[in-house]
Amino acid sequence: MDYMFELYEQVKDDMKFFIASDVRAKILISLRSGSKNLADLRKEIHLSSSTILHGMNQLEQKNFIFRESGNYSLSQTGEVVANKLIDVMRSFYSLNLCEGLFLNHDISCIPPELFKDIGCLEKSFIVKSTSTNIMRPQEVLSEFQSKSKNFKQLTSVYNPSSIQIFLETLEKDGNVQLIMTEGIIDKLIENAGKDKLEKWINDGQLQLMKIDEDVKISLTTGDNFIALGLFSADGAYDLNISLISHGEEAISWGNRLFDHYFQQATQVKMDALEIHDEILA
- Per-residue pLDDT, averaged over 136-161, amounts to 91
122 pLDDT band, cuts 50/70/90, is very high
Find out if CATH 3.20.20.140 is the number for domain 3-82.
Answer: no
Inter-residue contact 111 to 228 (CB < 8 Å): no
CB burial of residue 247 (10 Å; 0-12, 13-18, 19+) = middle
276 pLDDT band, cuts 50/70/90, is very low
At 10-33, the pLDDT tens digits run: 988 988 888 788 999 999 999 999
Distances (CA, A) of 128 to 79, 145, 240, 246: 39, 18, 5, 17
At 80-99, the pLDDT tens digits run: 999 999 999 999 999 999 99
At 42-69, the pLDDT tens digits run: 999 999 999 999 999 999 999 999 999 8
At 211-229, the pLDDT tens digits run: 987 789 999 999 999 999 9
Partnered with residue 228 across adjacent β-strands are 219, 243
- For the cut 60, the answer to whether the pLDDT of residue 272 exceeds it is no
Cα–Cα distance, 106 to 235 (Å, whole number)? 8
Q: Where in the chain is the domain with CATH 3.30.870.10?
A: 106-270
- Per-residue pLDDT, averaged over 206-215, amounts to 89
- For the cut 70, the answer to whether the pLDDT of residue 266 exceeds it is yes
Q: Where in the chain is the domain with CATH 1.10.10.10?
A: 3-82
CB-CB neighbours of 48 under 10 Å: 9
CB burial of residue 60 (10 Å; 0-12, 13-18, 19+) = middle
Protein fold of 106-270: Endonuclease; Chain A (3.30.870)
Q: Which residues of 124-140 are buried (b: 16+ CB within 10 A; e: fewer)?
A: beebebeeeeeebbbeb
- For the cut 50, the answer to whether the pLDDT of residue 278 exceeds it is no
- pLDDT score at 213: 76
- pLDDT score at 20: 86
pTM here is 0.86
- pLDDT score at 1: 64
Inter-residue contact 230 to 236 (CB < 8 Å): no
